[in-house]
Amino acid sequence: MAEKPHLNLVFIGHVDHGKSTAVGRLLFELKAVGEHVLRQYKEEAEKIGKATFEFAWVMDRLKEERQRGLTIDISHTKLETDKYYFTVIDAPGHRDFVKNMITGASQADAAVLVVDVAQKDEKGGLMPQTKEHVFLSRTLGIGQIIAAINKMDTVNYDQKKFEETKAQLEKLFQIVGYKSDQIIYLPMSALKGDNVTTKSDKMPWWDGPTLKEAIDMLKVPEKPTHLPLRIPIQDVYSITGIGTVPVGRVETGVLKVGDKVVFEPAGVTGEVKSIEMHHESIPKAEPGDNIGFNVRGVGKNDIRRGDVCGHPDNPPTVAKEFTAQIVVLQHPSAITVGYTPVFHSHTAQVACRITELISKLDPRTGNVLEENPKFLKTGDAGVIRVEPTRPMVIEKVKEIPQMGRFAIRDMGMTVAAGMVVNITPAKK
């Protein structure tokens, strides 16, 4: 039988809005988690006085999380519907753990944003983290979102309350730049199981999808085969009797046997003699394929991890400097001009100097708050100019989105996430 199409699905949202419970309930009802496991969790949960947490615990396997009732790390779980095969990523909503969302969201094809229908800020608006996660999803290139308005049981399944929250979300998505056809809305109660996999009789007014139907309405993103070839190199091997074999995942474009290729920033060229995937020889490789390919004319020491392979007529861009939009996730003090952290983009890790702070943006709308700010601190968004300390391949997010996003790491943590707006190339 043919394999089902695969999608990466990330669950995001404010702490305590029921994200983990929604994931747990969905997995349980789709039989991805056994009843005995849930029963055991339920008994344990009651013992420490957190009786409604059993669904959340399906994902929160870490002991510490159970005690605190928070999601700390990202867990990956497999889930199958009749139509798709999903990898479910439960990304933490708690402020301290936003950094983990980067690794979760950057690999997501779609997100389920879980929003508590009843919890509002002091002005009756959406909670700050809900806004932040939507902005971050945009920065990280998530193209489809299911807005699951949760905890309908706490407002007696009132349609008016659902409509109010939905209207606030519509406005937020519009401000951040999502189009209405990228968003699916639905009401649910993850704890009670209303509208998760089965229609709820408590909401006769709702004729839209359940959460399960909504995830089946998602589209598999088209493979970016029409974009220029980009293969970030993970490793380079020298294999006796074959020669130099770079290994990497095709991000964009198509590689065929017989192609002439160039590696940047190394600047070396060669010809593809063979391509292998899962130990089998293949004539061509497409986006998503993890391959090893033998290149004639290139020595093992000519190229290294972080280099990118492309075609000579549209080679990978080596940046002399670039401008980027970033969101500061956590920094003990502040980001200022001269700061030189490590930028992680595709397989490259390069120290880059921040040469200018161009503007400070509102992380909830993307509007400019201040020109040439003195610093950017935790929670701020901004536009910066950056100079890599050594040659580095990176692309404009508008041209090759897969190669235009990055995380900034320092002191053992993810400090910020961003996307490249403009590039001054080092090579003409």
Domain assignment of residue 223, yes or no: no
The Cα-based distances of 319 to 34, 200, 234, 274 in angstroms read: 51, 54, 20, 30
Looking at residue 74, what is its pLDDT? 39
DSSP secondary structure letter of residue 126 = -
Shared domain check, 237 and 101: no
Domain assignment of residue 68, yes or no: yes
pLDDT in tens, 21-73: 787 778 777 765 555 555 555 555 555 555 444 444 444 444 444 454 444 34
Nearest to 405 by CA among 177, 138, 76: 138
Shared domain check, 182 and 61: yes
261: three-class secondary structure by DSSP: strand
User: The domain that contains 270 carries what CATH number?
Assistant: 2.40.30.10
Domain assignment of residue 361, yes or no: yes
Looking at residue 415, what is its pLDDT? 82
Identify the burial level of 333 via C-beta atoms within 10 angstroms of its C-beta, where 0-12 means exposed, 13-18 middle and 19 or more buried.
Answer: exposed
Looking at residue 274, what is its pLDDT? 94
From CA 276, how far away is CA 201, in angstroms rounded?
53
Flag residues of the chain having pLDDT under 70: 1-2, 15-17, 31-77, 89-107, 364-365, 428
pTM above 0.85, yes or no: no
Domain assignment of residue 224, yes or no: no
Domain assignment of residue 22, yes or no: yes
Shared domain check, 254 and 175: no
On whether the CB atoms of residues 294 and 244 are closer than 8 A, the answer is: yes
**Structural domain total, the chain:** 3
Residue that is last in its domain, among 159, 192, 216: 216
Looking at residue 95, what is its pLDDT? 38
Residue that is last in its domain, among 276, 310, 344: 310
pLDDT in tens, 150-172: 999 999 999 999 999 999 999 88
User: Please, which residues bridge with residue 383 across strands?
Assistant: 325, 359
Domain assignment of residue 222, yes or no: no
Looking at residue 177, what is its pLDDT? 79
Query: By residue range, what is the domain housing residue 112?
Result: 6-216
Looking at residue 64, what is its pLDDT? 46
From CA 268, how far away is CA 260, in angstroms rounded?
11
Shared domain check, 235 and 206: no
Domain assignment of residue 158, yes or no: yes
On whether the CB atoms of residues 397 and 421 are closer than 8 A, the answer is: yes
